[in-house]
Amino acid sequence: MRIRYIIYTIVLLGLTFSFIGCQSENDSNMDGKEQTLSLSPTVQDMISQALTRSLNSFFYDGDQIDVNIITSRSATIQSFTYTYGAATNIFSGDFRFNLDNTSISKLEALWPSKDVRDEGLITDQRELKNYQKADRLKAEASTINIMPTAEPIPLAFKHEQSRLTFCLAGQNANGLIIKDLILELTYNSNKTAFWAYCKTDGTAELILPESVQIGPALADGGRMMVGLVTVAGATANSTYRGVIYIPNKTNIQTIASTDYLVTLTPEGYNLTASITIRGFSQDEGYVGIPIQMPKYNSATGKYEITSTLQLVTLSLLLKGGYIKDQDASVWRSYQYSLDSAVTMTDNGKQYYKPIDVALKGIFFDGVTAIKDAQNNDFNLFE
């Protein structure tokens, strides 16, 4: 009997302590109900490295993120889709804290959602929706072991990509805007063309993945073409397309969450421009003189060259590889007339490509040289 009484007493004490323990665990859930996890986002600004509220600045109503969660009860990753509400600046989803006081030991949020990320590298960002999808954000909860709570968990998103921001110096005074811009850069050892998003304020932006190479890193004192830009003024007649050049010694690999400011500075009629990349001690690059295609004269059956700009453009067309979608062999098959008033400017000399000597005597009715700004002979052929 005594042994049975002792066993009964121990069992009773065990049940009592078990009840007290359960009561203690559930004290944090004061209302005795499951809590649904919600998230309050901020996004780190690539320029100032400061956290800014996302409301009306980054996320839009209905945007979705993937939220990956590991709890204190299981090492298995659970994935949830969370949707942004602009009115509350909150992401809401379906993860619920159980009444057993399960805590979150790890939380990771990714934007955009997996289906968008699976589309791969977005190179054509001319449309706003594609420009936005090209960006990548990642956030991890800063609080270890997130306990059940009805309050939104703060998430600080950081950019996984980098950005090139293009602007025209003096564009406000001159009424100039960037209408379109394309760059050819090296990514994963491949030449890749990227189209920028042109904003209504006249600037342009391009989201790039980490480790895109800008510049060939050559110490030969030369420069290379990296793209084209179309610049427009107040009237339709003042639209020009320029060639973007950078010094060959430029050697930049894009870094995550970094904004590179590229300033294109018009210099007179020719819109020659310089590029400065913030944070790097690189020499300025150049946007070459605008492209002005030769005009065909049906009466003579020849293309007319009436300006330095057209002459430089023709030299690029004949050389090949400088102007997109133009076949050098086709341009070599045409005939050209050269206006006697055309001279070679100092600016034009920077971009002119000498014409193949095999065409000497065939082009321009036998003319082989023109005068430069110093009234010296400038040879047009190799």
Position 3 in a domain? no
pLDDT at 234: 57
Residues 6+ apart with CB under 8 A from 12: none
Domain boundary pick from 115, 137, 159? 159
Tokens at residue 188, please?
């994963």
Residues 60 and 149 in one domain: yes
Cβ–Cβ under 8 Å, residues 314 and 294: yes
Domain boundary pick from 159, 179, 208? 159
Residues 225 and 305 in one domain: no
The total number of structural domains in the chain stands at 3
Mean pLDDT by 10 residues, the chain (382 residues): 35 37 38 63 52 50 89 87 86 82 83 86 92 86 67 79 80 72 90 93 89 85 81 69 78 79 59 39 37 81 86 85 75 90 82 87 85 91 88
Position 62 in a domain? yes
Position 345 in a domain? yes
For the entire predicted model, the pTM comes to: 0.56
Residues 281 and 361 in one domain: no
Residues 60 and 91 in one domain: yes
Cβ–Cβ under 8 Å, residues 129 and 62: no
Residues 170 and 233 in one domain: yes
Query: DSSP character for 355?
Result: B
Residues 155 and 49 in one domain: yes
Give the domain CATH number at 117: 2.60.40.2620
Position 344 in a domain? yes
Strand, helix or coil for residue 279: coil
Q: Which domain holds residue 222?
A: 162-291
Residues 60 and 147 in one domain: yes
Cβ–Cβ under 8 Å, residues 149 and 35: yes
Nearest to 169 by CA among 249, 284, 247: 284
Position 2 in a domain? no
Residues 204 and 253 in one domain: yes
pLDDT at 8: 34
Percent of the chain whose predicted confidence (pLDDT) is above 90: 12
Residues 39 and 119 in one domain: yes
pLDDT digits (tens, 9 = 90+) for 176-219: 788 999 999 988 888 999 999 999 888 899 999 988 888 888 88
φ, ψ (nearest 5 deg) of residue 296: -85, 135
Residues 189 and 130 in one domain: no
Position 172 in a domain? yes
Residues 240 and 344 in one domain: no
Cβ–Cβ under 8 Å, residues 326 and 363: no
Position 14 in a domain? no
Residues 262 and 310 in one domain: no
CB count in 10 Å sphere of residue 116: 17
Position 70 in a domain? yes
pLDDT at 22: 39
Segment 344-348 long-range contacts (CB within 8 Å, at least 24 positions apart)? 344/308, 344/311, 344/370, 344/371, 344/372, 344/373, 344/378, 345/308, 345/372, 345/373, 346/372, 346/373, 347/270, 347/272, 347/289, 348/289, 348/308, 348/309, 348/311, 348/312
Residues 6+ apart with CB under 8 A from 140: 106, 107, 108, 109, 155
Give the chain's end-to-end CA distance (angstroms, integer): 118
Domain boundary pick from 271, 291, 311? 291
Buried-state track 143-157, b at ≥16 Cβ within 10 A, e below 16:
eeebebeeebbebbb
